[in-house]
Structure 1
Amino acid sequence: MAETNVLIAFYSRSGVTEALAKAIAEGAEASGAVVRLRRARELVSPEVMALAPGWKEAAEAMNARYEAPTSADAEWADALVLGTPTRFGAMSSELKAYIDGLGGLWVKGKLVGKAGSVFCSTSTPHGGNESTLLSMYNPLAHLGFIIVPTGYADPSLYKAGTPYGSSAISFSKAEPPTADDLEVARFQGRRVTEVAAALKAFALAKAA
């Protein structure tokens, strides 16, 4: 049976979205996936980053842990899971820049039929997590992904997260995701892997 490759491409400034990404990776790996965790890079100068205490240091630490996502990563993947903190009710510009760079694959139809899912974090309750998640599905649809939301397909969704994707609230203090948040994220990793595996098996059988 062919391996299922899962790319988790995220942007995180304080580590909250990173924690969700790692939990999704755990769930995907538990379902047999080969996972690549990638962090989108900053678009602003070091001088701008210095205006927010800790931003530069946190970015350097995360960049040391994760490579930047590439088009080659997306082509390799059977599933793409995108994660971001909310920026005014939408995804961060850092993650959007990565998505915008996938135009070469879009033209060739290289992403059609792969599984796509999303997750996010917000600083405040009602801070835009659902609007962010829903808006992230728009580019996935344009790129040809089969959209895989979390739904209420697991008991964990009745305690945390959203039916669109896993999420966390940091209460403006960079508080880490709760145990319930992480449980939803791990389920999301399992669900995306299972759907991606089924899609890949169908595509291979069709091509045979």
Structure 2
Amino acid sequence: MNKPKVLIAFYSRNQSTEQLARAVAEGAIEAGAEVRLRRVRELVGADVMQQVPGWLDNANAMNAKYEAPTEADVEWADAIVFGTPTRFGSITSELKAFIDGLGGLWFQGKLNGKVGSVFGSTSSLHGGNESTLLSIYAPMAHLGLVIVPLGYADAAMFKAGTPYGATHVSRQDSLKPDADHLAVARFQGRRVTQVAHALHGHPEAVAA
């Protein structure tokens, strides 16, 4: 039988969100999923990116590792997990542009019933992690996704993360996600896979 298919579509500038994405992928694979890990692309050119130290180099390095997500990836997936840093308390324009580009699939009803979940990171403490994740819930509802939060269904949730999704605070990019935050992200991958299994009938999936 086919494995549950999980697409992780994320944007990351300084690798914190990338590390969460990789942990989500690890959890999903552990639970029996087939995973596609994709990084959405910048909306600005190299001249703009060069004004922010490290942005262009990091983007080039990550884009060499990850393909850009496509409509075909979305149609393939049983579950879609979005990941984003916070921009003024909300989703990045890069990830939002990708979501906005799914109108054709939405119009055809091809997104209805797919599992949806979110994770993210901020630079500063109280910098908008929860508001950012919640801001993505609205477009997921419009797309017809079955939104899967984390609640407190795993012991890892009592040490890190939020009930809305895995998170991290980088403190001006001086910290990378620690073991507790990565554990939450792995749980998120397992939980999404479990729900995709329940909704789409893939018997090989392992319960989270």
User: What is the TM-score when the length of structure 1 is the normalising length?
Assistant: 0.96
Alignment of 1:4-19 (within 5 A): 4-19=4-19
Q: Deviations over 1:47-83 (max 9, x none)?
A: 1100001110100000000000111100000000000
Provide the residue aligned with 2:137 in structure 1.
137
CA shift at 1:201, angstroms?
A: 1.5
* Alpha carbons 1:15, 1:174 under 8 Å: kept: no
**Structure 2 unaligned blocks of 5 or more:** 203-208
Provide the residue aligned with 1:84 in structure 2.
84
Provide the residue aligned with 2:146 in structure 1.
146
Provide the residue aligned with 2:205 in structure 1.
none
1:188 lines up with 2:188 in the alignment: yes
Over 3 Å off, 4+ runs: none
CA shift at 1:173, angstroms?
A: 2.4
CA shift at 1:45, angstroms?
A: 1.4
* Alpha carbons 2:86, 2:121 under 8 Å: kept: yes
Determine the C-alpha separation between the residues in 2 that align with 1:30 and 1:43.
34
Distance 1:85 1:174, change over 3 A: farther
1:173 lines up with 2:186 in the alignment: no
Structure 2 residue matching 1:14: 3-state secondary structure = coil
* Alpha carbons 2:14, 2:173 under 8 Å: kept: no
Determine the C-alpha separation between the residues in 1 that align with 2:171 and 2:177.
10
The number of aligned residues is 202
In structure 1, give the amino acid aligned to 2:119: F
Q: Deviations over 1:130-168 (max 9, x none)?
A: 000001111110000000001111010000000000000
Determine the C-alpha separation between the residues in 2 that align with 1:29 and 1:174.
29
User: What is the TM-score when the length of structure 2 is the normalising length?
Assistant: 0.96
Provide the residue aligned with 1:53 in structure 2.
53
Provide the residue aligned with 2:95 in structure 1.
95
Structure 2 residue matching 1:58: 3-state secondary structure = helix
**Structure 1 unaligned blocks of 5 or more:** 203-208
1:41 lines up with 2:41 in the alignment: yes
Determine the C-alpha separation between the residues in 2 that align with 1:70 and 1:49.
23
CA shift at 1:2, angstroms?
A: 2.9
CA shift at 1:174, angstroms?
A: 4.3
Determine the C-alpha separation between the residues in 1 that align with 2:47 and 2:116.
35
Q: Deviations over 1:98-144 (max 9, x none)?
A: 00000000001101001000000000110000000001111110000
1:117 lines up with 2:117 in the alignment: yes
